[in-house]
Structure 1
Amino acid sequence: MIRLVRELYQYRGLLLSLVQRELKARYRGSFLGFLWTFLNPTLHMLVYVLLFTVVMRQNIPNYPFFMFVGLLPWIWFSTSIGGGASAISDRRDLLTKVRFPAQVLPTTVVVTNLCNFVFSLPLMLGLGIAYGQWPTWHVVLFPAVLLVQLIFTLALTYILAAINVTFRDLQHIVGNLITLWFFASPVLYPFSTIQDENIRTLMTALNPMVTLMTSYQAMFYEHRLPEAGPLLVLAAVSVALLYGASSIFESRREEFAESI
């Protein structure tokens, strides 16, 4: 893992260049261009608000804001996992070059989506203010929660990207699993609505996104600090997972150019 981090720092200029290119190219040719960074999560929110407030009639105060708080980090996670799975297998043009750092490719996907997440934060804060939900001092832990999600997302992306080089069906499986994962995470509903304590404990243990979603909601919607225990456990698990992911990635890196 230390080697991976060291090489990412060494090639930080290349990483920055690729991220800038991805951000510019993402909506190139579209009429609204960069505005889609804000429109995509907003349109997602409107669809779910219509479903859960009109059709299913959820009685959650300021529901659009509640959902938006969880939806933005979820979009960052899901698009990173979905795009990161094929980050290596889709870039034969780069990997066949001499000594191209393969680890930069999945990192580019995650960091690009992180930038979109950060760019969308003013929209989330503005929506909260519109509902009278002003940010409080509890958001000081936002960078820590964001860092935990970054480490966890990078680890999972490295593993999927490395395996997908030889098992191309994985990227399609991941797309379907992300949909299931979304509804198993408290994005559209408060975690408190699950009354059975055993189920809550099991979900927290098996689904890392439960801890992340409830942490964001605690800071921005409930105006309290996230629960330290689950967050620290997830941080430790994410670091361990990144260590394992970097080992898997390193062991398969020499095969990438030949396999794709």
Structure 2
Amino acid sequence: MIRHFRELYQYRGLLISLVQRELKARYRGSVLGFLWTFLNPTLHMLVYALLFTVVMRQNIPNYPFFMFVGLLPWIWFSSSVGAGASTISDRRDLMTKVRFPAQVLPTTVVATNLINYVLSLPLLLALGAFYGVWPSWHIVVFPLVVAIQLVFTMGLVYIISAINVTFRDLQHIVQNLLTLWFFASPVLYQVSTVADPKMRDLVTLANPVAILITSYQAIFYDHRLPNGMPLVALAVASVALLWSASWLFESRREEFAESI
């Protein structure tokens, strides 16, 4: 793992260049261009807010804000995992080059979506201001939650992208699993509304994304500190996942150019 990230740091210039290119190319040719960075999460929020405040009414105060708090990190996570699955197998032009650092590609996907998430935070704060919900001092732990999500997402994307090189069906399986994962995570509902205690424990403790989302909700919506034990456990598990993912990625890296 140390060699893996030492090499990643060595090629940080390439990583930054690829992230910049991805950000510029994402909405190239569209009329609104970079504004889609803000419009995409906003439109998602409006659709779900209409559905769950009019059609399937939720008894959650300031529901659009509550939902947006969880929706933004979910978009970061799902976009990274969905696009990251094929990031190696789709880049034969780069992978066949001599000594190209393969780990730069999944890292680029995660970093690009992280930047989009950060750029969307002003929308979250503006929506909170609209409902009269202002950030409290609990926001000081926000960078920690982001760091844990970053480590967890990186580990997962490394594993999926490495396996997808030889098992191309995985990228399609992942897309369907992300849909299931979304509804199993408390983005559109509060955990307390889950009636079955066993199912509630499954949502809150066995689902890493649920731990992250409820932590964001605690910071921005409930104005309290996140639950410590699940978050610490996830942090440890995320580091272990990234360590294992780095080993798997390195062990398979020599096969990438031949397999694609």
Question: TM class, shorter-chain normalised?
Answer: over 0.9
Measure, in 2, the Cα distance between the counterparts of 1:160 and 1:27. Answer: 26
Q: Which residue of 1 aligns with 2:96?
A: 96
In 1, the alpha carbon distance for the partners of 2:192 and 2:7 equals 42
**1:85 equivalent in structure 2:** 85
Structure 2 length normalisation: TM-score? 0.98
State the distance in 2 between where 1:216 and 1:81 align.
20
- Root-mean-square deviation over aligned CA pairs: 0.8
Residue matched to 1:235: 235
2: CA distance, partners of 1:150 / 1:4: 17
Q: Which runs of 4+ in 1 moved over 3 A?
A: none
**Deviation (angstroms), 1:25:** 0.4
Partner of 2:41: 41
Structure 2 CA distance, aligned partners of 1:186 and 1:119? 23
- Post-superposition offset of 1:195: 3.7
Alpha-carbon deviations, 1:100-142, whole Å to 9, x = none? 0000000000000000000000010110011000011001000
- Residues 141-220 of structure 1: pairs in structure 2 closer than 5 A: 141-220=141-220
More displaced 10-residue stretch of structure 1: 37-46 or 204-213: 204-213
Alignment of 1:45-84 (within 5 A): 45-84=45-84
Per the TM alignment, residue 194 of structure 1 is displaced from its structure 2 partner at its CA by 1.8
Aligned position for 1:31: 31
* Contact 2:191–2:203 (CA under 8 A) maintained in structure 1: no
How many residue pairs get matched? Answer: 260
How do 1:102-141 and structure 2 match up within 5 A? 102-141=102-141
- Identity score, percent: 76
Shift of 1:148: 0.3
Which structure 2 residue ranges, 5 or more long, are not aligned? none
How far does residue 202 in structure 1 lie from its aligned partner after superposition? 2.4
1:253 and 2:253 correspond: yes
Structure 1: which 5+ residue stretches go unaligned? none
Please state how far the C-alpha of 1:198 moved relative to its aligned partner. Answer: 2.7
Q: Supply the AA of the counterpart residue of 1:52.
A: F
> Which secondary structure does the structure 2 equivalent of 1:213 belong to?
helix
Letter in 2 for 1:165: V
AA aligned opposite 1:181: W
SS in 2 for 1:167: coil
* Aligned residue number for residue 5 of structure 2: 5
SS at match of 2:48: helix
CA drift at 1:154: 0.3
